[in-house]
Amino acid sequence: MKLSIAAVVALAASVSAHSIFQASLELYVNGVDQGHLTGIRVPDYDGPITDVTSNDLICNGGINPYHQPISQAIITVPAGASVTAEWHHTLNGADPTDPADPIDKSHKGPVISYLAKVTNATQTNVTGLKWFKIYQDGLNPSDQSWGVDRLIANKGKVTFTIPKCIPPGQYLLRHELIALHAASSYPGAQFYMECAQINITGGGSTSPATVSFPGAYQGTDPGIKINIYQTLSNYTVPGAHVWYRLILFWLADGICL
């Protein structure tokens, strides 16, 4: 089964500290769009999160209140499926006339995805969850290109794989980009994120190591307090390792740990 999720996210053209963030998520199952604003907690409007100690860093929705009513949909995603998140400048989706669609090109930085197991994917309380990273795209030092540059080149789309061997059940998928254009001091880095409500089917029984939000990020992290206006030989994406990669060779054999 071909399956993808598209998240449509709005970011203001402005490079000031106050970018607009809006999000919607669309699911395509066998090419069929499951619906705009379906299965994701969508902020109506406001700037990025800049405080790494704030609960807003978990799934947004605090200083950027959610669009009401919050979708109660839970998106079915087979373990091992390919998921595509799609970012755009406005809720209307792609706009070829907008130079800042999908995102202003100044907003360079990494793109990251995490999962957290939950008892109920529509539960409102998201504190205390245990997150594991399943995807990251940071800096390519050879040409100084960032995950956000590739996101723009792909017309807003970011594709990653849901691990094959994690337990089935309900999860929150936290998809994020960090804009580093003003990150040479802290606070400065801009965190944009949204959480999708998913139900993973199939899977196995592997329990990945986890991190907490807030907690996973520190204002002093080399990937958060950084001057990107220089040639960088490396970049450390914040928030632990991508769990998936550690067992890639087992996954390739189709063996669930």
Ligand X SMILES: *[C@@H]1O[C@H](CO)[C@@H](O)[C@H](O)[C@H]1NC(C)=O
Residue numbers at the binding site for ligand X (CB under 6 A): 74, 120, 122-125, 127-128, 170, 199, 201, 222-223, 226, 234-236
Nearer to ligand X, 128 or 254 (CB): 128
In angstroms, give the least distance from the CB of 39 to ligand X. 10
Minimal distance in Å, beta carbon 125 to ligand X? Answer: 4
Q: Which is nearer to ligand X, 10 or 228 (CB)?
A: 228
Residue 97 or 234: the one with the smaller Cβ distance to ligand X is: 234
Q: Minimum distance between the CB of residue 75 and ligand X, rounded to whole angstroms? A: 9
In the complex with ligand X, the residue whose CB is nearer, 12 or 211, is 211
- Residue closer to ligand X by CB (options 109, 156) is 109
User: Residue 102 or residue 238: which is nearer to ligand X going by CB?
Assistant: 238
Taking CB positions, which residue lies at the least distance from ligand X? 128
- To ligand X, the closest distance from the beta carbon of 219 in angstroms equals 14
Record the tokens describing residue 34, joined without a space.
């499951």
For residue 22, give both structure tokens. 């809006």
Q: How far is the CB of 13 from ligand X (least distance, A)?
A: 27
Secondary structure of the chain in HEC code, one letter for each residue: CCEEEEEEEEECCCCCCCCCEEEEEEEEECCEECCCCCCEECECCCCCECCCCCCHHHHCECCCEECCCCCCCCEEEECCCEEEEECCCCCCCCCCCCCCCCCCCCCCCCEEEEEEECCCCCCCCCCCCCEEEEEEECEECCCCEEHHHHHHHCCCEEEEECCCCCCCEEEEEEEEEEECCCCCCCCCCEEEEEEEEEEEECCCCCCCCCECCCCCCCCCCCCCCCCCCCCCCCCCCCCCCEHHHHCHHHHHCCCCC
Nearest distance from C-beta of residue 235 to ligand X, angstroms: 5
